[in-house]
Structure 1
Amino acid sequence: MVTDADYDNSAAVPGVTDLSAGWTADAKAFRDGMGARAQLGLPYGATAREKLDLFLPEAPPKGLTVFVHGGYWRSRHRHDWSHFAAGALARGDAVAMPSYTLAPEARISRITLQIAQAVTMLAEQVPEGPIRLAGHSAGGHLVARMLCADPMLTESVTERLAHVLSISPVSDLRPLLDLSMNEDLQLTPEEASLESPILCKRVHDVPVTVWVGGAELPAFLDQARWLSEEWDAPLVVDAGRHHFDVIEGLKDPDSPMMTSLFEGDGGR
């Protein structure tokens, strides 16, 4: 039987509160240092959290990387992660980070549509070059969902998709049905199935890499393995990394994570 403890990443990682506070401070310093190359709070929809930040490289962008944050669809904000744009920026991409409406105000199915809307808007903002999607935890779920039959991204967007990096994803939502977090998520068995990437009809033939920390909870190692197996996608188990420091590679343009995202894309 699945319990809350099986999916409680915060309880499993000592010092996560300090780590989170450090993220927020580093993210603000990064935004402040970007100056006019940080376009903040761009709306992609009508509601308060349907906004994104777009960070531009010094030269015209070679492409676009979109990072979707986690927080079990219930917490966090794009402003907590800005500094994780550094690796893709150094490789010449524009980097976008959207916020989205949180549960319980929005169901996961609505959040999925919001991310599709954000990616569509961003493809117009950065009209040339490949598009790469990366997401962590709940964000790993959301970027994987972009390859499913719904939400239908336009052909002009999907033909530019070069790689999807799903980091520590929740690929099967059915285990969450009996957890206390479902008081906020309000998942039904039907929605849990429809929103699970491993159960969806994948219609876009885009290279996918699944990445997970070797020191993560067994449930997250399972979730990553399930997606890797179902989608026949490479699985990278990052030795020694836990659920929160597994994304550190996003900051380094030469890290194995960034090399995978930019160079493991089938040559697109």
Structure 2
Amino acid sequence: MRDWDDAYANSAHVPGSDKLPALWTERAAAYRAALKSFTPDIAYGAGERQRFDLVLPDEDSKGLAVFVHGGYWMRFDKSFWTDLAEGARYHGWTVALPSYTLTPAARISDITTEIAAAIVAAAARVAGPIRLAGHSAGGHLVTRMLCDDGRLEPAVYNRIASTLSISGLHDLRPLLKTKMNDTLRMSLEEATLESAALHLPRGPSPVTAWVGGGERPEFIRQSELMANVWTGFDVPTRLVVEPGHNHFTVVDGLKDPSSAITKSLVGLD
């Protein structure tokens, strides 16, 4: 029988991963301190964690890029990841980084609704096209914005130019077999509803599934699945397996304006 806990155990397979949260915190804080234009803690709802930060470019904004963090819907917040905005900011995009209520205080379906509200609120402040990106659980949340159950109002959905799911989770049903589900509290019904790969796409908005070549095989399978399934519905999809990266380093390229993953996010690939 397959060990599904091990299939999703990224930290157990990356030496030194216990030190990473402190490193992320330090890097993000240093980046915020150096920014010329940064607007923190903009409310998109009444909840304590229903806030997003905006990182503004030096020149006129080309549009809105949204980055949704991961952590298995159970941990972290926007403050860990501010420096990941640099690649898109450099290219002239305003970057929104939302936090959201974590499980078990919220269900995953509630978090999906929160992220839709965050995108709508950010879109009301920033004109132009919208480019979505998310890592791990965040990859799940941004692909859910493209599904046929219509979480975004048409005026906002129609502005989405592309979506980048980085090491995303697109079929949540295997997580029912993990110890994490004691916290996630998913039923089969909710896991099915919240799986983008089990939905029809709302439209032909392009999707890139990006994953590190050194990640757990389950994350590569999840990315392959998303790219494969929605191709059958005439959605422009792309799968990128980037060599040399694990689940934690695969997002580092978002800090680099010249990296392939940044170019994918901002439409320069």
**TM, length-normalised to structure 1:** 0.96
Could you say what secondary structure the match of 1:180 adopts? Answer: coil
Size of the alignment, in residue pairs? 263
Return the letter of the residue paired with 1:242: N
Q: Is the 8 A contact 1:112 1:151 kept in 2?
A: no
Paired with 2:248 and 2:97, the residues of 1 have a C-alpha distance of 18
The verdict on how the C-alpha distance between 1:258 and 1:61 changes in structure 2, with shifts beyond 3 A counting, is: same
**Structure 2 alignment gaps of length 5 or more:** 232-236
1:250 maps to 254
Is the aligned partner of 1:51 residue 2:51? yes
2:245 maps to 241
Q: Is the 8 A contact 1:141 1:169 kept in 2?
A: yes
Q: Is the 8 A contact 2:113 2:151 kept in 1?
A: no
Comparing 135-144 and 149-158, the one that deviates more: 149-158
Paired with 2:268 and 2:60, the residues of 1 have a C-alpha distance of 23
Across the aligned residues of Structure 1 and Structure 2, the Cα RMSD in angstroms comes to 1.1
Q: Is the 8 A contact 1:165 1:211 kept in 2?
A: yes
2:222 maps to 223
The verdict on how the C-alpha distance between 1:182 and 1:107 changes in structure 2, with shifts beyond 3 A counting, is: same
**Structure 1 alignment gaps of length 5 or more:** none
Could you say what secondary structure the match of 1:234 adopts? Answer: strand
Q: Is the 8 A contact 1:42 1:52 kept in 2?
A: yes
Could you say what secondary structure the match of 1:177 adopts? Answer: helix
Paired with 1:189 and 1:4, the residues of 2 have a C-alpha distance of 17
Return the letter of the residue paired with 2:248: F
- Counterparts of 1:3-42 in structure 2, within 5 Å, are 3-35=4-36, 37-42=37-42
Paired with 2:190 and 2:268, the residues of 1 have a C-alpha distance of 32
Paired with 1:27 and 1:55, the residues of 2 have a C-alpha distance of 12
Paired with 2:105 and 2:171, the residues of 1 have a C-alpha distance of 22
Paired with 1:228 and 1:169, the residues of 2 have a C-alpha distance of 11
Q: Is the 8 A contact 1:113 1:151 kept in 2?
A: no
Paired with 2:256 and 2:192, the residues of 1 have a C-alpha distance of 36
Give the % identical residues. 49
Q: Deviations over 1:43-94 (max 9, x none)?
A: 0000000001001111121111000000000001100000000000000000
4+ residue stretches of structure 1 with deviation over 4 A? none
Paired with 2:207 and 2:268, the residues of 1 have a C-alpha distance of 9
